[in-house]
Amino acid sequence: MLMSAQQKINNDQSFAHAKGSSANQTPESITIRPRHLHFDVKEDLATLWHSGDAFKTAFFNALSLQFPRGERHFIDSVRNYRDRVKDPALQENIRGFIGQEGLHSKEHEAYNEALAQRGYDLDAIDKRFSAHMDYVYSKRNHLRLAGTCAAEHYTAVLAHGLLNNPDWLHGASPRMQALWRWHAIEEIEHKSVAFDVYQSEIGIHKVRFIVFFVVTYNFFKYTFLNTCSMLKTEGKLWSLKTWLKGLNYLWGKPGVIRKCLPQLLKYLRRDFHPWQLDERQDLKKWSQHLEETGYGT
């Protein structure tokens, strides 16, 4: 029998009470299901779509360039353990996670192809990141899953920041705002799936701890290199003004990375779980907003 929304919320609350103050799985009221939206952003991507600002545009584009291969790896690394998972609720969440990441990967492939119109050297960027992903795929399954957990933590924390700090996207074209918010909503919905699989099938804190630093290094490395590649095409690679404004955006005001740091570091705690940060209200608010603005079709 289907459960009403109120029953689900009551169950979540009693679950949280039963386990103490820390949630340790996706709340039952969260349904992880891909939205099958498509954002026609070709025209936006042929421009400096974020406020006419070369750095902000390059920064978000740099993230997008890592998504198709990265998210396919997330799926593969979870699939390696799928058959071992006994919990039917987690099995259901894995299905939703694969569906969401599969669609993100496709949507960002189209996004990245459209970037070619701006004249970026996408082949060189792709070659560099493919070599990195080949290295990732050569690692043992438990390390790859630990890597996915860390990368999913990065995407969830950035997603939280994006939804809670509208100034991060202030000045971006409305369609691009909608695309990034759609991705952020779904990242939050499935934020604990890979983590729950890891905890249930591997659970070694030391591995999760160490791999987080490897993922952190690579996340910043490829985001930085991709940003530089696009700034070079824009003729802004050696512009001090562009870099100072960019550093201010990331570390000063609004401080995208600065604001993420405290939550990012919580991952290192032995008793960490992604749903210790309850984002159900954010999800409700921004899902409604996404439907009302109607940019995805």
**Contact residues for Fe ion (CB under 5 A)?**
101, 104, 152, 187
Burial class (CB in 10 A: 0-12, 13-18, 19+), 63: buried
Residue (11 or 200) nearer to Fe ion, CB: 200
Shortest distance in whole angstroms from residue 10 CB to Fe ion: 28
Shortest distance in whole angstroms from residue 268 CB to Fe ion: 20
Residue (26 or 242) nearer to Fe ion, CB: 26
Shortest distance in whole angstroms from residue 167 CB to Fe ion: 23
Phi, psi (rounded to 5 degrees) for 204:
-85, 115
DSSP bridge partners of 62: none
At residue 28's C-alpha, the angle toward residues 100 and 17, to 5°, is 140
Residue (168 or 182) nearer to Fe ion, CB: 182
How far lies 261's CA from each of 155, 166, 179, 250, in Å?
A: 13, 18, 24, 11
Residue (58 or 98) nearer to Fe ion, CB: 98
Shortest distance in whole angstroms from residue 93 CB to Fe ion: 12
Residue (142 or 183) nearer to Fe ion, CB: 183
Shortest distance in whole angstroms from residue 148 CB to Fe ion: 8
Residue of closest CB approach to Fe ion: 104
Distance CA 105, CA 98 (A): 10
Contact 87, 117 (CB under 8 A): no
